[in-house]
């Protein structure tokens, strides 16, 4: 029986099945903590522990799914192309804002990590924390961070940004729909966009674009700040 549990088909079934359960639950409850990622994570870890399947076996079995992370990052290029129309005529303010946000995001992470004195690996894992998870994982791996830690932190930041974002923007008197959507997407990626869509169609569309822009900007800025600050 153990042989079956360690086989690739069983592990793929486990990942796909848990994810599907997560999607079903999310559609029914529509509550951010029931996000398919979190539900799938908890289910899979519980089952791995229960059936005594070790982590390396799981990695080998699920490598087929993990591989698709790379192509899906490439595919984001298409999403970006589709959405870039939204900001015709407003390229300068939008790009400046995203670049400013990217710089502040990376510098503040490195600065806080240095003040509080943590491992290099943790700083590397946190640097890409405002970008969409697939890009964040690639960037974290790339600068020798811990991808799983990055995934969880990025998710947490997205959750936080989505929940408090609109109130923070109100407090700072940011009222334009473009600015609000852009801020939510830049700071809280997909989870910010989910919230932005609730605010309105313009906010939602701009927020979707912000995810791609922030991904590109952060990827380009990280090597630069790594070389001057660390």
Name residues whose C-beta falls within 8 Å of residue 142's C-beta, 6 or more positions apart in sequence. Answer: none
Q: How far is the CB of 201 from other proteins (least distance, A)?
A: 18
Binding positions for other proteins, 73-92, rule CB under 8 A:
73-82, 84, 88-90, 92
Binding positions for other proteins, 32-61, rule CB under 8 A:
35-37, 40-41, 44-45, 48-49, 55, 58-59
Instruction: Find the Cα–Cα–Cα–Cα dihedral 194, 198, 201, 204, rounded to 10°.
Output: -20
Q: Which of 101, 196, 205, 209 binds other proteins (CB under 8 A)?
A: 101
Which of 1-9, 15-23, 193-201 is the region at the interface with other proteins (rule: CB under 8 A)? 15-23
Q: Which of 97, 194, 205, 209 binds other proteins (CB under 8 A)?
A: 97
Q: How far is the CB of 3 from other proteins (least distance, A)?
A: 21
Which of 1-9, 129-137, 197-205 is the region at the interface with other proteins (rule: CB under 8 A)? 129-137
Residue 157 lies near other proteins (rule: CB under 8 A): yes
Helix/strand number for the chain, H first, E second: 11, 0
Binding positions for other proteins, 169-228, rule CB under 8 A:
169, 172, 174-176, 178-180, 182-184, 186-188, 190, 210, 215-216, 219-220, 223
Angle between helices 201-229 and 91-116 in degrees, nearest 10: 50
Say if residues 211 and 190 touch (Cβ distance below 8 Å): yes
Q: How far is the CB of 2 from other proteins (least distance, A)?
A: 19
Taking alpha carbons only, the member of 171, 169, 141, 162 closest to residue 211 is: 162
Which of helix, strand or coil describes residue 215?
helix
Give the C-alpha separation, 24 to 16, whole Å: 12
Q: Which of 25, 32, 51, 122 binds other proteins (CB under 8 A)?
A: 122
Say if residues 129 and 136 touch (Cβ distance below 8 Å): yes
Number of residues that bind other proteins (CB under 8 A): 105
Q: How far is the CB of 114 from other proteins (least distance, A)?
A: 11
Q: Which of 118, 144, 198, 230 binds other proteins (CB under 8 A)?
A: 118
Q: Which of 57, 86, 124, 151 binds other proteins (CB under 8 A)?
A: 151
Say if residues 219 and 101 touch (Cβ distance below 8 Å): no
Give the C-alpha separation, 112 to 99, whole Å: 20
């Amino acid at each position: 029986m153990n042989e079956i549990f360690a086989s690739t088909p069983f592990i793929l079934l486990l990942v796909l099945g848990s994810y599907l359960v997560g999607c079903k639950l999310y559609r029914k409850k529509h509550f951010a903590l029931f996000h398919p990622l979190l539900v799938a994570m908890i289910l899979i870890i519980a089952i791995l522990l229960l059936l005594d399947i070790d982590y390396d076996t799981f990695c080998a079995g699920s490598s087929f799914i993990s591989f698709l992370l790379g192509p899906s990052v490439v595919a984001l290029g298409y999403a970006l192309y589709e959405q870039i129309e939204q900001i015709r005529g407003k390229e300068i303010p939008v790009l400046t804002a995203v670049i400013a946000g990217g710089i502040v995001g990376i510098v503040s992470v490195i600065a806080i990590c240095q003040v509080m004195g943590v491992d290099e690996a943790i700083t590397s894992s946190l640097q890409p924390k405002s970008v969409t998870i697939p890009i964040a994982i690639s960037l974290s791996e790339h600068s020798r961070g811990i991808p799983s830690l990055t995934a969880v932190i990025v998710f947490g930041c997205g959750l936080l940004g989505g929940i408090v974002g609109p109130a923070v923007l109100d407090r700072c008197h940011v009222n334009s729909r473009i600015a609000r959507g852009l801020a939510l997407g830049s700071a809280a990626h997909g989870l910010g966009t989910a919230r932005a869509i609730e605010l309105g169609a313009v906010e939602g569309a701009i927020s979707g674009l912000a995810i791609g822009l922030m991904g590109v900007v952060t990827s380009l800025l990280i090597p630069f700040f790594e070389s001057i600050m660390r």
